[in-house]
Amino acid sequence: MENLLYELLDWAEVETIVYSEHDNPHSLLGAHVTEKGILINAFIPTAVHIKVNLTETGQEYPMTREVYEGFFSVLIPGKKVASYTLIVIYDNNTMEEILDPYSFEPIIDPVDLTRFSNGIHYHIYDKLGAHSMEVDGIKGVLFAVWAPNALRVSVVGNFNNWDGRRHTMRRLYDSGIFELFIPRPMPGEIYKFEIKIKGGLIVLKADPYANRTELRPNNASVVCDLNDYEWQDGSWMKERAVYQFETQPMSVYEVHLGSWKKPPAKEEREFYNYRELAPMLAGYVKDMGYTHIELLPIMEHPFDGSWGYQVTGYYAPTARYGSPADFMYFVDYMHKQGIGVILDWVPAHFPRDAFGLANFDGTCLYEHRDPRQGAHPHWGTLIYNYGRPQVSNFLIANALFWVEKYHVDGIRMDAVASMLYLDYGKKQGEWIANIYGGNENLEAMELLKHLNSIFKKRHDGALLIAEESTAWPKVTEDVRDGGLGFDLKWNLGWMNDFTDYMKCDPLFRKGRHGELTFSMIYAYSEKFMLVLSHDEVVHGKGSMVNKMPGSLEHKFANLRIAYGFMICHPGKKLLFMGQDFAQFAEWNEAKSLEWDLLNQEQNGKLNRYVRDLNKLYRSHPALYELDFEERGFEWISCMDADHSIIAFVRRAGREEETLLIVCNFTPVLYKNFLIGVPFTGRYKEIFNSDKTIYGGYGNVNPRLKQSGRQEADGRDESVTLVIPPLGIAVFSCAPFIREAKAESGADF
């Protein structure tokens, strides 16, 4: 029998198994029909004895160790492979009965492989990674990874003593994908892929498609099933599918979960869990009147100081705050409270961590090989090769994954400009022009168009928002009309101009009046979101209140008019946490927000002011319904640089509402200031930043104002108003017809 076995084995192939170089171990290991019977081979390096147990009959056949330690064979009579188990005795005298992982046919369908190779498998995350499933009634985990240039790939973990010889994976045809079904439940098991690269070197890589990871500084992937959570947000999701963001209010609260609020020091832990954060955050957001939260990246990342913008685990919520199910609960809870959830997402670059995507299979698989194309010199990170179909598929599927699996309502794409421009952040000689000699990244453009077009086809109301810092045209134009297809674009031009203007001493603002009004020249070129984000309160820039000039009192007054102008300006809104109660310190990701400041009079009043601003915004369609239509805005006064006063009108569509907004960016009080009005009517003040409840002096307009026939601002009609210092006043406008006096024909 031993001589027969020796003759049946291909010993060159056996050596590639023993020396862990085989990329199709199923061709030798497992059960195979031969003319002499059923040949079963197994390679378990630490085994000293193995028996084959036929499941149906219970018959046992001892296996023979063949030449190499750990390699066993047996020839069983028969012409058809029957189900069996392996009874293994190890060198430490322990015994285990296992199902043979090499007794299963390929699981990933050739159609899936073709779609992935073409870059159009939008649910590839259901195939690659680690997925619990049943195969022929047997529960286990399918491991799969794309590593086309690897000599060999194994899945390793505690379950096999991190021995890459134990669970070598099968290369699926010419797809570059390796898979292995391990026939046993493995919830919570940690694992990595051991990759033998050309030259014989071995690297350990985390799973690019892992649904869960270890808490840093550990970085292994974790087997996790995402299908067990029972969602309760059906009503929200149904309404979202018909949600028209263009005509609805969007006031977004930007949050870094790790520093929004930290546990007390006595608890000796770094972070709250997602489930703990949900009611605390939702309660605050609802009370303040925000419509959405936007989370700085919660995808897994090794370095806290990156704030999540250097991602290593694109398909896993960070373990800092709990499990994937915990994060599902977080999103579910927000939806039940009527709060939308937007995630920051980073397809522009990735870090060089050895366990991550960099040089994944011994080659520049995800990045470009040429550093002029594949590296950001300033950030020290790598740039994706967007022209490789499998790489673009990885990213497109990832954006869809968070919408599909976690029900998120929007994706805010970080650093889009760095994707679009080949020379972004680079000097002469550090970049390569495109085929037409230009600096546009044609492959990145195609990726963005592809992603946006797929999002639109879902018809589920999920949004894609671009942080694009240049004047790239048609960012929010439909792909069919030559645009990139985003729903919204961050208006960073407005942010830079406006913060520069507000930082200027009011005495000199008249010389910068254009910075205040310039945004309306291009306001309708894109669908804009006005943002005062985390980027404006870090790296020595100071908090929002400390950007403001003057005494502490003037700082708060300046901040009130700044927020008021932002709310009334066309565009959706975003404000970073801590700035709505005027946190004095610059944001630090390692520290909690200074919540005690709410007990201080000025900070508490500012917080109330922002709450009432959000209420004003959400209750008046004129402030949001026609954000992207020119008929929703009209200047009344935009040239009065000497007074640093502007006035404009916002209009609604269906409601036919008109609001008059007057802003004074100097600390001068005007008690009888003439302002032109859009029509004959009555003007009632409905909001004033100088109210004492907000920390002001009470310079308000308590009585209804009726327009008179006195020319002002190029208008035939005007009203005389109290204009508060460093203040904003909002008036509702009701037209009326002035009746002629019978005797004289004079007008009232």
Question: Tokens at residue 519, please?
Answer: 């945004």
Question: Helix, strand, or coil here: 181?
Answer: strand
pLDDT in the model for residue 1: 53
Q: Which listed residue (344, 404, 414, 487) is catalytic?
A: 414
pLDDT in the model for residue 200: 86
Q: Which residues of 364-403 are buried (b: 16+ CB within 10 A; e: fewer)?
A: bbbbbeeeebbbbeebebbbbbbbbebbbbbbbbbbbbbb
Note whether 22 and 16 are within 8 A (CB).
yes
Whether 467 is a known active-site residue: answer yes
For the chain, give every residue range classified as CATH 2.60.40.1180: 550-569+582-748
Distances in Å between the Cα of 169 and the Cα atoms of 164, 177, 373 are: 10, 9, 32
Residue 28 has pLDDT above 50, yes or no: yes
Residue 747 has pLDDT above 70, yes or no: no
Note whether 484 and 440 are within 8 A (CB).
no
Does the domain at 550-569+582-748 match CATH 2.60.40.1180? Answer given as yes
Q: CA 553 from chain center: how many Å?
A: 38
- Among 356-360, 367-371, 652-656, the least confident range: 652-656
Over residues 202-222, mean pLDDT: 97
Residue 4 has pLDDT above 80, yes or no: no
Q: How far apart are CA 260 and CA 183, in angstroms?
A: 43
Q: Closest Cα to residue 747, out of 719, 715, 709?
A: 709
Note whether 226 and 187 are within 8 A (CB).
no
DSSP string, 298-365: -EE-S-GGGTT-S-SEEEEE-GGG--HHHHHHHHHHHHHTT-EEEEEE--S-B---TTSSTTTTSS-S
Q: How far apart are CA 387 and CA 119, in angstroms?
A: 10
Residue 656 has pLDDT above 60, yes or no: yes
Q: How far apart are CA 16 and CA 337, in angstroms?
A: 58
Over residues 600-624, mean pLDDT: 98
pLDDT in the model for residue 579: 98
Confidence band for 9, pLDDT divided at 50, 70 and 90: confident
Taking all residues of the chain, what is their mean pLDDT, rounded to a whole number?
A: 94
CATH number of 2-100: 2.60.40.10
Architecture of domain 110-222: Sandwich (2.60)
Spatial neighbors of 431 by CB under 8 A, at least 6 apart, are 372, 373, 422, 423, 439
CA angle 211, 215, 216 (to 5 degrees): 120
Q: Could you read off the pLDDT of 47-65 as tens digits, one per residue?
A: 999 999 999 889 999 999 8
Q: Could you read off the pLDDT of 75-102 as tens digits, one per residue?
A: 999 888 889 999 999 999 999 999 999 9
Note whether 348 and 341 are within 8 A (CB).
no
Q: How far apart are CA 422 and CA 440, in angstroms?
A: 6
Confidence band for 333, pLDDT divided at 50, 70 and 90: very high
Q: Could you read off the pLDDT of 63-74 as tens digits, one per residue?
A: 998 778 899 999
Name the packing angle between helices 324-336 and 389-406 (round to 10°): 60
Q: Which residue has the tokens 């033998």?
A: 196
Q: How far apart are CA 288 and CA 563, in angstroms?
A: 14
Q: Which residue has the tokens 């009370």?
A: 287
Over residues 668-686, mean pLDDT: 96
Q: Which listed residue (409, 467, 487, 536) is catalytic?
A: 467
Residue 376: what are its φ and ψ, rounded to 5°?
-95, 110
pLDDT in the model for residue 6: 65
For the chain, give every residue range classified as CATH 2.60.40.10: 2-100, 110-222
pLDDT in the model for residue 403: 97
Residue 302 has pLDDT above 50, yes or no: yes
Question: Helix, strand, or coil here: 478?
Answer: coil
Q: How long, in residues, is the chain?
A: 748
Q: How far apart are CA 42 and CA 64, in angstroms?
A: 10
Q: Could you read off the pLDDT of 388-413 as tens digits, one per residue?
A: 999 999 999 999 999 999 999 999 99
Note whether 152 and 23 are within 8 A (CB).
yes
